[in-house]
Structure 1
């Protein structure tokens, strides 16, 4: 997939990202295991290397040949644009904010954002850190929008949910969302995330989170 094609697809599925830079990660820069990564702003180093006039522009860099699945994966990290404060606060769930007293993730007071896990002791970041309930929903919405735009992507190529994250398969989450991605296909992601997801979707994530933390608890005796 060419970089020019990445720009066109990004514009079709997330038009609110009016400013966006997409490029290839310089070979001389170490990337670790990452195939690609997104940053809410380029920063001075990237801006200087690519001669960008604005180092605050949202950026996606590919460490390998770009593909549509990876692009949708990374776009979801840059959304929503100008979302409600509750959305920003909810990201604390995926970042690992923990309420020891309540025995659950400390969110924004919205029950649907609480992964009801029975956990005692030291809290460790879960394998879905940064790729949890909000992000999965975004990726699946982007996946549907890409299909509507004529770009069919295998759901496995999204690298969302599944064993790598100790979550159910992405098909489980897609089924739980039902027709939501189609009904909201023309919405901004800020508007999408102002609406509570379907109960079945919330239940799927809470079940996976609960199972994961129960396994960790049992493994530590």
Structure 2
């Protein structure tokens, strides 16, 4: 597969489904194979992002001009291995997944001063965190870091992509089934009418409105079902602000 062509298509898709948010902003979609092992090549994720990822990786960008912007790392080797029949579709779906995390933030990236020594150490720690499987004890809610706000944005993005003719399944953007929740297609269908009506709205406008009752009901039922079977655990204070 021509990964550079996939990256170009992924970037184009992002700008088409979130034109207002990404206007005048650079965006980088970086395959893991473009990174050194110390900075994320060995990721076990299908994709990840973080608010300072441009600071961590900018020296690996061929087109870096000193202007900050959001970054998505694609675990292209992992996707090719696990989705051989729909590799391209899954890469675009993963791109939308990470874009949803970016749009969920207060800003596209975290404004902060550049301290080379600190940023370098932080970049290495982030790469280490995404290069090992999580060891959960079953007490963390499955929707942690993927709450209803994220899901709403993600399925809106997927709906916009579908309207543009892209073949991306809901579970290729966010597979709720992997976490014992209701099927992704069920969530996506619950958001469809709203997504049709708000296809030109900004995501800030969308998230300022109450979610569709059916979508909310599915999410709350999944939460209730989980809480009846396991205790809640709060995220540890030392967990990194990385979303995968």
TM-score w.r.t. the length of structure 2 is 0.65
1:187 and 2:187 correspond: no
- Aligned-partner Cα distance in 1 for 2:104–2:225: 29
Moved over 3 A (4+): 29-32, 53-56, 80-83
Aligned residues: 177
Q: Give the aligned partner of residue 49 of structure 1.
A: 60
Q: Give the aligned partner of residue 151 of structure 1.
A: 166
Cα offsets for 1:114-171 (capped at 9, x unmatched): xxxxxxxxx9531221112111111110111001112121223223322x22211012
Structure with the higher helix share, 1 or 2: 2
Structure 1 portions without partners, runs of 5+: 84-122
Once the two structures are superposed, the pairs formed by residues 199-210 of structure 1 within 5 Å of their partners are 199-210=213-224
Structure 2 portions without partners, runs of 5+: 81-87, 108-137, 232-244
Q: Give the aligned partner of residue 90 of structure 1.
A: none
Cα offsets for 1:25-60 (capped at 9, x unmatched): 215235442111122332433012225333741100
Residue pair 2:54, 2:71 contacting (<8 A) in 1 also: no
Cα offsets for 1:63-112 (capped at 9, x unmatched): 216621111111111114757xxxxxxxxxxxxxxxxxxxxxxxxxxxxx
C-alpha RMSD of matched pairs (Å): 2.3
1:38 and 2:49 correspond: yes
Residue pair 1:81, 1:190 contacting (<8 A) in 2 also: no
Q: Give the aligned partner of residue 103 of structure 2.
A: 79
Deviation at 1:199, TM superposition (A): 1.3
Q: Give the aligned partner of residue 73 of structure 2.
A: 61
Q: Give the aligned partner of residue 101 of structure 1.
A: none
Residue pair 2:43, 2:75 contacting (<8 A) in 1 also: no
Q: Secondary structure at the match of 2:30?
A: strand
- The structure whose RCO (Cα within 8 Å, separation 6+) is larger is 2
